[in-house]
Chains A and B, each alone.
Chain A
Amino acid sequence: GNSVTQMEGPVTLSEEAFLTINCTYTATGYPSLFWYVQYPGEGLQLLLKATKADDKGSNKGFEATYRKETTSFHLEKGSVQVSDSAVYFCAPLIQGAQKLVFGQGTRLTINP
Chain B
Amino acid sequence: NAGVTQTPKFQVLKTGQSMTLQCAQDMNHNSMYWYRQDPGMGLRLIYYSASEGTTDKGEVPNGYNVSRLNKREFSLRLESAAPSQTSVYFCASSETGRGNTEAFFGQGTRLTVV
Partner of A98, one of B42, B43, B50, B102: B50
Q: Can you name the residue of chain A whose Cβ is closest to the Cβ of B94?
A: A100
Bin the interface of chain B by size.
20 to 34
Majority SS at the chain A contact face: loop
Q: Can you name the residue of chain A whose Cβ is closest to the Cβ of B31?
A: A98
Q: Determine how close the nearest CB of chain B comes to the CB of A106; give it in whole angstroms.
A: 9
Bin the interface of chain A by size.
20 to 34
Give 1 or 0 for each of A95-106: 1 = CB within 8 Å of chain B CB.
111111111110
**Closest 7 pairs (CB-CB, A-B):** A95-B99, A43-B105, A104-B42, A98-B50, A46-B102, A51-B100, A102-B43
In the assembled complex, 8 residue pairs joining A and B whose CB atoms fall closer than 8 Å, in A order, are: A32-B100, A36-B103, A43-B105, A44-B103, A96-B97, A96-B99, A98-B48, A104-B40
